[in-house]
Amino acid sequence: KQEVTQIPAALSVPEGENLVLNCSFTDSAIYNLQWFRQDPGKGLTSLLLIQSSQREQTSGRLNASLDKSSGRSTLYIAASQPGDSATYLCARSGGYNKLIFGAGTRLAVHP
């Protein structure tokens, strides 16, 4: 069974901290690994996509890495802000962009 696990499940930090969110998956035969942000009751916003041939992607204060051999991806958020508060989901793609999601990390950044 293909599984995606995210650690920690929840995180509460003061503004300004650098954060690391972890994602692990059981099947290394992936097409890509995607990170999303979801605000309560809303849809998902794509943050970063790492193709299976890539090692990392960066966008602004966000950096995501992918290690297929160990089945791990990490999302690094630099200098966190209250506006970063949301649930962060990682998802692996196994063809047809059929995504299998982790349960997410609920992040709260307080001023």
Partner 1 sequence: DTEVTQTPKHLVMGMTNKKSLKCEQHMGHRAMYWYKQKAKKPPELMFVYSYEKLSINESVPSRFSPECPNSSLLNLHLHALQPEDSALYLCASTTPGGEGKLFFGSGTQLSVL
Report the interface residues with partner 1, using CB under 8 A.
31-32, 34, 36, 41-46, 49, 51, 89, 91, 93, 96-99, 101-104
Q: Which is nearer to partner 1, 34 or 80 (CB)?
A: 34
The minimum distance between CB 16 and partner 1, in angstroms, equals 28
Q: Looking at beta carbons only, is 18 or 97 nearer to partner 1?
A: 97
Shortest approach of partner 1 to residue 70 CB, angstroms?
A: 21
Beta strands in 62-103 (DSSP E): 62-67, 72-77, 86-93, 99-101
Taking the complex as a whole, how short is the minimal distance between the CB of residue 50 and partner 1, in angstroms?
11
83, with CB counted inside 10 A (0-12, 13-18, 19+), is exposed
Neighbouring-strand partners of residue 89: 36
Q: Cβ closer to partner 1: 12 or 46?
A: 46
DSSP-assigned letter for residue 84: G
Pick from 4, 10, 89: which is nearest to 45 by CA? 89
What dihedral do alpha carbons 18, 59, 31, 40 form, nearest 10°?
70
Toward partner 1, which CB reaches closer, 45 or 58?
45
CB of 97 to partner 1, least distance (A): 5
